Amino acid sequence: MMIIAHEMPDGSVKRTTSFEPTLAWLQAGRTPAEVEAFIAGQLAIGAPLGVKRSAILLLIESMQDTEGEIERRVARGQPREIAEAFVYAWRDGGKTQAEALDLIAKDGCWTAVRSVAMENTIPDAIATHYRSAFKLSGNALGWDIAKAREAHRARLRELRRPKFEPLERAQRTALATGNTAEAQRLETQLQALRDVTADPRIATAATVEELVSVIPDALK
């Protein structure tokens, strides 16, 4: 899947995804009749079009009022040159892939410092926990390792959260029945859970891949 990564003014990174139909449209510049054939053709080859025919037809209708749409976009804060560029391109098509991706990037996240289109090479299983640590390094999506460590600690906190309650309940029972040995054993387990975010391997991990594998025994 192709994505556009946006470097925001605060250094964080957002991504624009699922823009394939938009990309196709900006490149195509088709008449309504051609659009019908286009949709049918895309569906026939199983293209991941996240759109319905009725939606495309709405777009045709909407884009007939290009000036009105530009003004609506400007009114909500989008710079006029971006609003004009996107709306006219949407209406007229005929863009190269690079031009279309640039328009999508500006339309999807026009407050970005810069935007880069790329293949999504980061597995979702990693992205889901660590994307607050995304960083644009040149034209590639990389990691801010300090932010990744914080993201990992947050992940460990989520993992330990459900383990606290049964241990604390068992400890209260042990204390109530005078079983101090059991209470002490449970306290040791609880302390291990409290300490998972202080695992020294977190601070020394040099890559996100290393961080992902740092799961203290108390959480296993």
Partner 1 sequence: MIAEREGSSTPYSSGTFSLFTPGNPTITGTTISTSWSNNTLSDIATGLSTCVLKDGTQTITANIPMSSFKFTGLAAGTTAGDSIRYEQLLPVATQSDQETGTSTTAPVTPGRQQYHQSAAKVWVNFTNSGTPTIVTSYNVTSLTDNAQGDTTINQTVAFSAGTYPVVGSANDAGSWVQTIPGTNARVVTRLTATNAATDVPCSVVAFGDL
Give the interface with partner 1 as residue ranges (CB under 8 A). Answer: 1, 3, 6, 14-19, 21-22, 50-52, 54-55, 57-59, 61-62, 69, 72-73, 75-77, 90, 104, 107-109, 120, 122-129, 131-132, 158, 161-162
Q: Report the run of H or E that residue 49 belongs to, with start and end.
A: none
CA-CA-CA-CA torsion for 106, 83, 111, 58, nearest 10 degrees? -70
**Would you say 7 or 107 has its CB closer to partner 1?**
107
Q: How far is the CB of 63 from partner 1 (least distance, A)?
A: 8
Q: How far is the CB of 21 from partner 1 (least distance, A)?
A: 8
97 is written with which tokens?
Answer: 């892939």
Q: How far is the CB of 19 from partner 1 (least distance, A)?
A: 4
Q: How far apart are CA 175 and CA 44, in angstroms?
A: 68
**Would you say 34 or 61 has its CB closer to partner 1?**
61
Return the closest-CA partner of residue 160 out of 121, 203, 128, 192.
192
**Would you say 21 or 93 has its CB closer to partner 1?**
21
Cβ pair 18, 120 in contact under 8 A? no
Q: How far is the CB of 48 from partner 1 (least distance, A)?
A: 8
**Would you say 20 or 182 has its CB closer to partner 1?**
20
CA-CA-CA-CA torsion for 81, 84, 88, 89, nearest 10 degrees? 40
**Would you say 50 or 94 has its CB closer to partner 1?**
50
Q: How far apart are CA 163 and CA 219, in angstroms?
A: 8
Q: Phi/psi class of residue 143: alpha, beta or left (left: φ > 0; alpha: ψ in -120 to 50)?
A: beta
Q: How far is the CB of 26 from partner 1 (least distance, A)?
A: 10
Q: How far apart are CA 185 and CA 129, in angstroms?
A: 32
Q: How far is the CB of 86 from partner 1 (least distance, A)?
A: 9
Q: How far apart are CA 155 and CA 139, in angstroms?
A: 28
**Strands (E) located in 74-175:** 114-119, 134-137, 140-143
**Would you say 77 or 178 has its CB closer to partner 1?**
77
